[in-house]
């Protein structure tokens, strides 16, 4: 069998079990035929075989972003989207200026959406020690319905017109599991809301993307990911997100992925985490009922799009001492909330669904790990590979339980690069817990190289060291973004390393990560990205 292409004269990190380096790679029909020496690669040459000289460059497997809000990230790249990071808007005048700049070019009553505002990022909110309200954005909104997300996507600030169109008044009542509507002293809504149930109520009245617009978001986002060497990614979408973020969290995004797959229009592989809780609510009834109602495509080519995982939002900073955060499941007491989370986890495990559980607080982690451990004990050997998302409050007992039961961790080292601090990943690694890495984009940058830099150096973007004793070996850190992410998504037979039989998904870098000063990792640039044997990005 003759190869379509032979890549030679390079340093190819296969990232196989022994992390071997080779000089050449032969590719046929999008899959790898051979990895080894240049001399042996010539055995695969035919009359039509093309030769590509790597010119001594380093080749790595394509990166797998194991946690990203991908369709929404594509929306955030649209020119009409409002970005309100602190560097863009540090006070209300600047924030309103950004809004007005967009509003001036939109038809009357057109919906506006944006993200990135932080309570400590706007001077007035910080200095006056108060929460924002709709009056703060009235000047810039210019009468438009506006939805602004905070940096974590759990909180929104909306304009007066958005409240009006959604029918939200002082008489509106939300259940605990839907979230919180903040009120003025007279009971009327301030425009600030937390969690997905409240967001869905407003989003139901908002604009929803057309099929063409949704596909454009996905294409736009995947091109950006390709520029960072990313060839596979997740997305969190489902019936629970139909009315979130113009539908980019919903079933329309699932259908758009499948349409693009059928048209061979994807440039990265997609692994969907299903947001099943109807109307954005996290409860056993909403999640299990949502799964039953969801109409998933047949996924004609599961090597490009598949959906085997249910995404659960377990808590938001629910601390072990109960002094901060909260559980996102219903119940008047902690015990009732934990019981409903446990019920959901046990039943999803019984039905054979993999679970990815968002957990940022210690109490939520304790409850979820206990339930997952019980599920594995009741029905062992199912190889579902459940995983925790974020896991920023893991303690030694959690890690031991996870390692013993095959429960994995999907973390975001790029957050450490941006903000400093960051989760201790050295202890879970040493204790046998499998770890993958994602960006959580667009809440965080999608450049995986920055996360790699932080893992190896524990140095943030300002050059400050953050617990350098937790720095990891470069090979281990690369595995987080490749082999481990593929394994977490049951794709290790086809992805995650460069070995015969696997897909030719790889990236060519401008420098050798294994020989440069580790402090230079952050400056590494992807020169070319190949997915399925086809170049999907090339730096000009």
pLDDT score of 363: 98
Sequence-distant (≥ 6) Cβ neighbours of residue 227 within 8 angstroms: 526, 529, 537, 539
pLDDT score of 255: 98
DSSP assignment letter at 239: G
DSSP assignment letter at 304: T
* Span 79-106, average pLDDT: 92
| Alpha-carbon torsion (335, 314, 120, 458), positive or negative | positive
* Span 398-427, average pLDDT: 96
pLDDT score of 90: 93
- Residue 351 three-state SS: helix
Find, among 110, 181, 195, the residue nearest to 149 by Cα. Answer: 195
Place 421 in a pLDDT band, splitting at 50, 70 and 90: confident
* Span 420-432, average pLDDT: 94
Place 299 in a pLDDT band, splitting at 50, 70 and 90: very high
Q: Judge whether residue 86 has pLDDT over 80.
A: no
pLDDT digits (tens, 9 = 90+) for 112-145: 999 989 899 999 999 999 999 999 999 999 999 9
- Strands 50-53 and 31-36 come out as unpaired
* Span 298-310, average pLDDT: 97
pLDDT score of 84: 87
Token pair of 322 as six digits: 């109960």
- Strands 408-411 and 31-36 come out as unpaired
pLDDT digits (tens, 9 = 90+) for 351-389: 999 999 999 999 999 999 999 999 999 999 999 999 999
Token pair of 504 as six digits: 């030719």
pLDDT digits (tens, 9 = 90+) for 306-330: 999 999 999 999 999 999 999 999 9
Of the chain, the end-to-end C-alpha distance in Å amounts to: 33
* Span 40-49, average pLDDT: 96
pLDDT score of 318: 97
Place 302 in a pLDDT band, splitting at 50, 70 and 90: very high
* Span 169-189, average pLDDT: 97
Q: Judge whether residue 422 has pLDDT over 80.
A: no
What CA–CA distance (Å, rounded) separates 146 from 156?
A: 10
Token pair of 132 as six digits: 């924002």
Place 108 in a pLDDT band, splitting at 50, 70 and 90: very high
154: part of which helix (H) or strand (E)?
none
Q: Judge whether residue 238 has pLDDT over 90.
A: yes
């Amino acid at each position: 069998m003759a190869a379509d292409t032979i890549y030679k004269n390079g340093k190819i990190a296969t990232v196989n079990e022994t992390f071997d380096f080779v000089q050449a790679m032969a590719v046929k029909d999008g899959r790898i035929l051979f990895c080894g020496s240049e001399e042996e690669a010539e055995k695969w040459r035919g009359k039509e075989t093309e030769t590509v000289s790597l010119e001594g460059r380093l080749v790595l497997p394509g990166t797998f972003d194991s946690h990203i809000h991908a369709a929404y990230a594509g929306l955030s790249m649209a020119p009409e989207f409002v970005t309100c990071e602190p560097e863009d808007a540090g006070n209300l005048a600047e924030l309103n200026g950004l809004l007005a700049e967009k509003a001036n070019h939109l038809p009357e009553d057109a919906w506006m959406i944006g993200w990135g505002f932080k309570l400590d990022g706007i001077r007035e909110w910080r200095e006056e020690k108060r929460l924002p309200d709709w009056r703060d954005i009235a000047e810039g909104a210019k009468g438009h319905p506006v939805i602004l997300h905070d940096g974590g996507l759990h909180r929104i600030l909306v304009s007066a017109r958005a409240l009006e169109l959604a029918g939200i008044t002082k008489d509106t009542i939300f259940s605990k599991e839907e979230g919180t509507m903040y009120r003025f002293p007279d009971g009327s809504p301030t425009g600030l809301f937390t969690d997905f149930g409240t967001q869905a109520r407003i989003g139901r009245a908002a604009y929803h993307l057309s099929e063409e617009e949704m596909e454009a978001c996905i294409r736009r986002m995947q091109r950006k990911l390709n520029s960072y060497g990313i060839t596979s990614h997740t997305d969190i979408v489902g019936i629970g997100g139909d009315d979130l973020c113009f539908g980019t969290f919903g079933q329309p995004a699932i259908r758009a992925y499948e349409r693009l797959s059928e048209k061979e229009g994807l440039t990265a592989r997609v692994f969907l985490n299903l947001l099943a809780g109807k109307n954005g609510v996290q409860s056993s009834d909403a999640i299990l009922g949502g799964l039953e109602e969801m109409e998933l495509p047949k996924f004609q080519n599961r090597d490009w799009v598949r959906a085997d995982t249910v995404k659960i939002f377990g808590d938001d900073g629910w601390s072990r001492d109960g002094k901060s955060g909260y559980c996102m499941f219903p119940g008047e007491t902690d015990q009732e909330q934990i019981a409903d989370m446990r019920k959901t986890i046990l039943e999803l495990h019984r039905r054979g669904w993999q679970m990815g559980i968002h957990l940022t607080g210690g109490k939520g982690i304790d409850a979820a790990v206990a339930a997952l451990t019980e599920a594995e004990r009741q029905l062992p050997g199912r190889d579902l590979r459940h995983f925790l998302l974020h896991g920023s409050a893991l303690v030694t007992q959690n890690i031991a339980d996870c390692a013993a039961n095959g429960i994995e961790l999907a973390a975001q080292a790029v957050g450490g690069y941006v903000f400093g601090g960051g989760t201790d990943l050295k202890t879970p690694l040493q204790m046998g817990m499998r770890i993958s890495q994602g960006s959580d984009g667009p809440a965080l940058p999608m450049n995986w190289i920055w996360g790699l830099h932080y893992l190896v150096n524990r140095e943030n973007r300002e050059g400050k060291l953050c617990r350098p004793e937790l720095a990891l070996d470069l090979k281990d850190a690369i595995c987080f973004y490749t082999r481990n992410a593929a394994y977490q998504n049951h794709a290790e037979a086809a992805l995650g390393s460069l070995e015969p039989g696997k897909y030719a998904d790889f990236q060519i870098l401008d420098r050798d990560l294994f020989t440069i000063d580790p402090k230079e990792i952050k400056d590494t640039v992807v020169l070319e990205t190949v997915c399925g044997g086809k170049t999907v990005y090339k730096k000009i």
